[in-house]
Amino acid sequence: MPMAVLGTAAGLLGAYAVASWVVYDRVSRAAGGCWPDDVDNTPSAYRVRDGFDQTIADRNRMPAPADVRFRSRDPAIPDLELAGWWLPADKEDAPAVVVVHGVQSCRREANVLVPAGMLHRAGFSVFLIDARDHGDSDGHDGRFAAGTDEHLDVLGAWDWVRARGVPAARIGLLGMSFGAINSVIAGGEDRRVAAVWADSVATRMGEAIGNFVVDQLGDPTGVSRLLVPGGLVWARIIAGDDLTRYDPIDEVGRYADRWIAFVQGEEDRVLPPAMADAMHGAAVAAGARTAPLWVAPGAGHGEALFFEPDAYERRLVDFFTDALGEP
């Protein structure tokens, strides 16, 4: 092969490596904190994003929470300390739900505070958490690991609630977007998880990461999706993360006889409704106890609760009441 051809091939490979590194570095960052608009939000006083009805938040305010520090279940980092807000119900024997935020977000975002408020108002205890490298939790490596590590944080939160004396059969998980991915994986890896409400979930991580890259880069052509394989290699080199180790649609195959529900926005371009449809079908095939699949008309990514708040609350409370028992 002529040297010129080899040189060209090497140059193209090098350019691809650099471009895929830039994409991985930009998209995978989870450097702690919250979105600027959310940093002052608390369960008792928070705002929704511009364009949505503030009365949704006002109706779902909660009391001042207890600040909690708890451990991840990650055996490789036993001292990793995570942050949470515990809002116990008035009844001591009430069921409890762990509420999990999306990527580059935190427990202060309205899209997790609103459903937490809906559940708390209905008599459930709720535990809002910050995953590693997010919100007020300890940092690990400043990268998100596509659920490979973070699902262990969710299970650590489950452990904390269980240690409060809540029976395993009375503890559920609620995840939003990346939090839904983490929650589904957590339930797949630990059969003691009784129920999962998955709002805006993915099927396979490779496809979801590609969609996320296109969305984050504002790439209408979708060409940046070609850089994802290189980004997956960089994730292994830089952070030791296998971003496609867990596929939620495989995990949901382990939900036989357990409860799971899927919600997606009709206009979601990051994790489109077809993903929720596939997940629901896989859950039914596995013998899971499923709520009806709900695709909220007109809603974008993680927006169903803002477009249809009354329907969302009714479905959410009914699901966890059926799954965990009366609050």
**Within a 10 A sphere around the Cβ of 160, how many other Cβ atoms?**
21
pLDDT at 13: 77
In this structure, is the dihedral angle defined by the CA atoms of residues 228, 239, 77 and 112, taken in order, positive or negative? negative
Confidence at residue 178, expressed as pLDDT on a 0 to 100 scale: 95
Buried-state track 301-313, b at ≥16 Cβ within 10 A, e below 16: bbbbbbbbbeebb
- Measured CA to CA, the distance from residue 172 to residue 28 in angstroms comes to 28
pLDDT at 8: 57
Cβ atoms < 10 Å from Cβ of 232: 19
Q: Which two tokens stand for residue 165?
A: 């004396």
DSSP track, 24-66: HHHHSB--SB--GGGTT-BTTB--PPTTS-HHHHHHT--PPPE
**Cα separation values, 254 from 90, 134, 152, 164, 306, Å:** 34, 28, 17, 27, 31
Q: CB neighbours (10 Å) of residue 245?
A: 13
**DSSP structure class, residue 128:** E
| Per-residue pLDDT at 297 | 96
Q: What structural domains and CATH numbers belong to the chain?
A: 1-29+224-243 (no CATH), 42-204+245-324 (3.40.50.1820)
Beta bridge partners of 196: 173, 260
At residue 259's C-alpha, the angle toward residues 255 and 262, to 5°, is: 95
DSSP-assigned beta bridge partners for residue 127 = 86, 98
pLDDT in tens, the chain (327 residues): 466 555 555 667 778 899 899 888 888 888 788 989 999 999 999 999 888 999 999 999 999 999 999 999 999 999 999 999 999 999 999 999 999 999 989 999 999 999 999 999 999 999 999 999 999 999 888 898 999 999 999 999 999 999 999 999 999 999 999 999 999 999 999 999 999 999 999 999 999 999 988 888 888 888 888 999 999 999 999 889 999 999 999 999 999 999 999 999 999 999 999 999 999 999 999 999 999 999 999 999 999 999 999 999 999 999 999 999 999
Distances (CA, A) of 78 to 71, 82, 138, 140, 268: 7, 11, 12, 12, 37
pTM of the model: 0.94
* CB contact at 8 A, 144 and 28: yes
What is the CB-side half-sphere exposure of residue 195 using CA atoms within 13 A? 26
Quote the pLDDT of residue 102. Answer: 93
d(CA 185, CA 180): 8
Tell me the residue type at 143: R
